[in-house]
Amino acid sequence: MERGSAFKHPFYNVEINIEKSKNITISCVYRTPESCLDTFNNKMVGMYNNMNDNKMLCVCRDWNVDLLNPSEHKNTTDYIDTMYSLGLFSHHPKTILNIM
């Protein structure tokens, strides 16, 4: 298990080795609401950009990002672009589902 907490963003990564199949990496990440979104984006790129394609990735997250009005906040738009580029963006974020 890998554990870290840089820039107020604690994370835990656990890799499960499976014979004759892809390994599974389970990652739990938390971003405090008052922390810098740019710093968080950079941390996510550093953590997931070099992830081996031969692994399945499951990310459990509480990233405290307001996705309701991304066009009004450049950092939120950058966050969405970053998560899409890493393949980590949920099409049904909890924030939006709770309102419907």
β-strand 23-30 against 55-62: which pairing, if any?
A: parallel
- Per-residue confidence (pLDDT) for residue 98, from 0 to 100: 44
DSSP, collapsed to helix, strand or coil, labels residue 6 as strand
β-strand 9-16 against 55-62: which pairing, if any?
A: unpaired
**Is pLDDT at 4 greater than 70 in this prediction?**
no
β-bridge partners, 26? 14, 58
Query: What are the boundaries of each domain within the chain?
Result: 2-97
DSSP, collapsed to helix, strand or coil, labels residue 78 as helix
Residue the block writes with tokens 């509480």: 62
β-bridge partners, 29? 11, 61
Mean pLDDT to the nearest integer, 70-97: 75
